[in-house]
Structure 1
Amino acid sequence: MKVWGAGDVDAASAGTLRVGQQDLVTPLARERARELGIDIVLAAPNPPAPPVSPPPAAPPSRNAPPAARPPSGRGSVPAMRPPSGALFRRGAPLPQGLAAGGGGTGRVIVVGAGHVGMITALRLAGADLFDEIVLVDIDEGRAAGVALDLAHTAALGCFATRVRGTGAVEDAGPADYVVITAGRPRQPGMSRSDLVSTNAAIVGDLAQRVARTSPDAVIVVVTNPLDEMTQHAWRSSGFPAERVVGMAGVLDTARFQALSALAGAGRADGIDAVALGSHGEEMVIPLSQARSGARPLTELVDRAALDAVVDRSRGSGAEVVGLLKTGSAFMAPGMSAARMVLAMARDTGEVMPAAVLADGTYGIRDVYVGLPVRLGRGGVREIVELDLTPDELSALRDAATRIKDRLRQLAAVS
């Protein structure tokens, strides 16, 4: 079996890419073929037999039974169909029979079988969208055990996605999406920045290995300190920036929505807001953009109370760490990472905040920082520019500057 990527499509000659019966064609390769007008042709399993003239037909008998239909495909090349569900765009329905044994198309790797990785895998499997979710952990027994436990919930969760665990990225197989949760978690009294050197070594190594085994994947980084680790993963992988994103804004936004609901702003899922900037002290929530239904949040909640909600959202991660005593938040982070992957796999074009490489929008460039982006199946489609107030824009730019300072420190210790 061979895995065909986008590079193979680029190198195809005469407008045709011939693949074997058992070969796997990645979704990105399929999209690239459509863009270039390349036909993906499934090779016949055996050379077709030379035509044989049929014997003269006997006169039909009135009492003779109807001729039996020959078995499908016998003596001829089978009808053209993709050799794998991976040929289809992510999230598209599969023809009958191709999804047997799996819930959808494609594979997602979740690196790290700790609590965050477990919740991420649970949500992704429950979506019944992918063929397979693979948990990877240096503790192979933990990865396999969590995966088996999760697989046992298939009937309870009504999904057909396969789930397995392994000890190395290389054993997981090529994937469409790779979520990196591995790393040392925060302990009480630790800041996210205290984890820089330890987690940089882990994330950098993983990004390089992912690039070798899943060259067309989108990487979603969850490891802290989030902004710095996402930029480090981008540099280590060599991937285009649109295929390396960090999960922070979705989580921070969810925290703000939940806390605003507690303050009387309405249901959490009816609050429209966005958390930008850094995943930490420089988090920026533009209140000019915050709504509950059609009404601005500033009309529903006293401004002092709303400012207190912003401050608590900013420190919610540390608050959870302090309450747990050991370990850090995992339910909301895991759900947030899964939501990003599902939005990309379904190609919804949904706008959500993510740590991405700034391209000059908002006057920020060449640093990973939380910005509103439109996501598609191949990662970031575009950075979306909101109409921020001067104070909000200044705070966002300050966050980018602070992240750049920390990245210089990371470079000094690397």
Structure 2
Amino acid sequence: MKISVIGTGNLGSEIAFMLAQKDLGDIVLLDINKELAEGHQIDILHSASGIGYSGTVSYASSPEEISGSNLVIITAGAPRQPSMSREDLLHKNAEIIKSICADIKKNAPDSIILLTTNPSDIMLMLALQDTGFPSGRVLGLGNLLDSYRLRSLIASEMGKNITEVEALVIGQHGDRMLPVLSSCKVSGKSLSELLDADKISEIFERTKSAASKLISKKGATVFGPASATVEIAESIIKDLKKELPVIASLNGEYALFEVSMGITGILGKSGLESISELELNESEKKNLQETSTFLKKKFSEI
């Protein structure tokens, strides 16, 4: 299995290291800063004995070296600052993604793409358009990370171990994200039975602002998005058929068309193998409709 990571800054390098920790395949690191990519390559190789990594790590001097990749993970893009929304990165990152997609289409036409670059919903629509790949092979990170954050906040509020918490976030990876209340459970009990509506709403709002708060403290979000990316990658590489939140293109699901946003689906060796539609209340359905309108408008501005 060949996995290429495009962009080896804080997030890309952590993803590469976690891929090696799980021994998921041979890793290629591609970055405009070749010295940085080579440094991460050497660092991971130095760790190989300790983490039990049996694969190879190489740094690419040109995009041609991603040829034959089964999975291409894109992390390259302008970093988000504390005062910025993900949409503030739209135009700058669109140019980066266009260039990368041209390289992938030319050199790794049979690969699955997993994109983390923000705003990831809109960047995914651009990647689909520019590569022409089947929609199940162009996926984005976002709502699995949001779900991680929501679970963490619920566990903290309830004084529970996070393994006792279930929660899903779908929709936009941004201010319009949709925490699905019916999915939120603690030790098998519905969150709505354990907390009042105001407290639940407060937790949902804290989930939406979690990334901005973290960026203001340490300058970037790293471990959470890296963990979520690698969980998705592992399900694809090992054909685990895990049902996970992932950003994908919709074609009739939730009565939405030609838009990409967070949904839940089965992830296996061919990418997104099926989409699972959740039972939503009317307010939640309205959220997705409004999110679709917003994302399509933003995409038209590129």
Aligned to 2:207: 313
Aligned to 1:112: 7
Aligned to 2:296: 404
Query: For 1:335 and 1:289, how far apart are their aligned partners in 2?
Result: 21
User: Residues 189-211 of structure 1: CA distance to partner in whole angstroms, max 9, x if unpaired?
Assistant: 12211111111011111111111
User: Residues 48-97 of structure 1: CA distance to partner in whole angstroms, max 9, x if unpaired?
Assistant: xxxxxxxxxxxxxxxxxxxxxxxxxxxxxxxxxxxxxxxxxxxxxxxxxx
Q: Would you say 1:391 and 2:283 are equivalent positions?
A: yes
Query: For 1:118 and 1:222, how far apart are their aligned partners in 2?
Result: 13
Q: Would you say 1:128 and 2:20 are equivalent positions?
A: no
What 5-or-longer segments of structure 2 have no aligned partner?
A: none
Q: Would you say 1:279 and 2:150 are equivalent positions?
A: no
- Higher RCO (C-alpha 8 Å, min separation 6): 2
Aligned to 1:176: 70
Aligned to 2:50: 156
Q: Would you say 1:334 and 2:215 are equivalent positions?
A: no
Of 288, 301, 308, 2:182 maps to 288
Q: How does 1:231-250 map to 2 (within 5 A)?
A: 231-250=125-144
Per-residue deviation at 1:265? Answer: 6.1
Number of residue pairs matched by the alignment: 302
SS for the counterpart of 2:301 is helix
Q: How does 1:23-172 map to 2 (within 5 A)?
A: 106-130=1-25, 132-172=26-66
- Whether the 8 Å contact between 1:275 and 1:284 is mirrored in structure 2 is yes
Aligned to 2:100: 206
Query: For 1:401 and 1:369, how far apart are their aligned partners in 2?
Result: 11
Per-residue deviation at 1:317? Answer: 1.1
Which one has a larger percent helix, Structure 1 or Structure 2? Answer: 2
Per-residue deviation at 1:382? Answer: 1.0
Per-residue deviation at 1:270? Answer: 2.8
What amino acid maps onto 2:134 in structure 1? P
Segment of structure 1 superposing worse, 377-386 or 163-172: 163-172
Instruction: State the TM-score, normalizing by the size of structure 2.
Output: 0.96
What amino acid maps onto 1:380 in structure 2? L
Larger radius of gyration: 1
Aligned to 2:80: 186
Per-residue deviation at 1:246? Answer: 0.6
Per-residue deviation at 1:301? Answer: 3.0
Segment of structure 1 superposing worse, 387-396 or 294-303: 294-303
Query: For 1:359 and 1:167, how far apart are their aligned partners in 2?
Result: 38
User: Residues 102-121 of structure 1: CA distance to partner in whole angstroms, max 9, x if unpaired?
Assistant: xxxx1100111101101111
SS for the counterpart of 1:153 is helix
User: Residues 364-390 of structure 1: CA distance to partner in whole angstroms, max 9, x if unpaired?
Assistant: 111011111111111111110111111
Give the % identical residues.
29
- Whether the 8 Å contact between 2:7 and 2:74 is mirrored in structure 1 is yes
Per-residue deviation at 1:300? Answer: 2.7
User: Residues 150-203 of structure 1: CA distance to partner in whole angstroms, max 9, x if unpaired?
Assistant: 111112112212222223321233200000000000112122111111110111
What 5-or-longer segments of structure 1 have no aligned partner?
A: 1-105
Question: Alpha carbon RMSD of aligned pairs, Å?
Answer: 1.3
Aligned to 1:197: 91
Per-residue deviation at 1:129? Answer: 2.6
Query: For 1:250 and 1:244, how far apart are their aligned partners in 2?
Result: 16
Instruction: State the TM-score, normalizing by the size of structure 1.
Output: 0.71
Query: For 1:383 and 1:265, how far apart are their aligned partners in 2?
Result: 33
User: Residues 260-286 of structure 1: CA distance to partner in whole angstroms, max 9, x if unpaired?
Assistant: 111116322332221111111100001
Query: For 2:221 and 2:257, how far apart are their aligned partners in 1?
Result: 31
Query: For 2:70 and 2:187, how far apart are their aligned partners in 1?
Result: 35
Q: How does 1:210-229 map to 2 (within 5 A)?
A: 210-229=104-123
Query: For 2:187 and 2:10, how far apart are their aligned partners in 1?
Result: 33
Query: For 1:125 and 1:400, how far apart are their aligned partners in 2?
Result: 37
Q: Would you say 1:351 and 2:243 are equivalent positions?
A: yes
SS for the counterpart of 1:152 is helix
Per-residue deviation at 1:334? Answer: 1.2
- Whether the 8 Å contact between 2:66 and 2:108 is mirrored in structure 1 is no
Query: For 2:62 and 2:200, how far apart are their aligned partners in 1?
Result: 45
User: Residues 117-169 of structure 1: CA distance to partner in whole angstroms, max 9, x if unpaired?
Assistant: 01111111111131x11111000010010111011111211221222222332
Per-residue deviation at 1:328? Answer: 2.0
- Whether the 8 Å contact between 1:219 and 1:244 is mirrored in structure 2 is yes
Aligned to 2:124: 230
- Whether the 8 Å contact between 1:263 and 1:305 is mirrored in structure 2 is no
Query: For 2:292 and 2:45, how far apart are their aligned partners in 1?
Result: 41
Aligned to 1:302: 196
Query: For 1:328 and 1:129, how far apart are their aligned partners in 2?
Result: 25
- Whether the 8 Å contact between 1:265 and 1:301 is mirrored in structure 2 is no
What amino acid maps onto 1:147 in structure 2? Q
Aligned to 1:322: 216
SS for the counterpart of 1:185 is coil
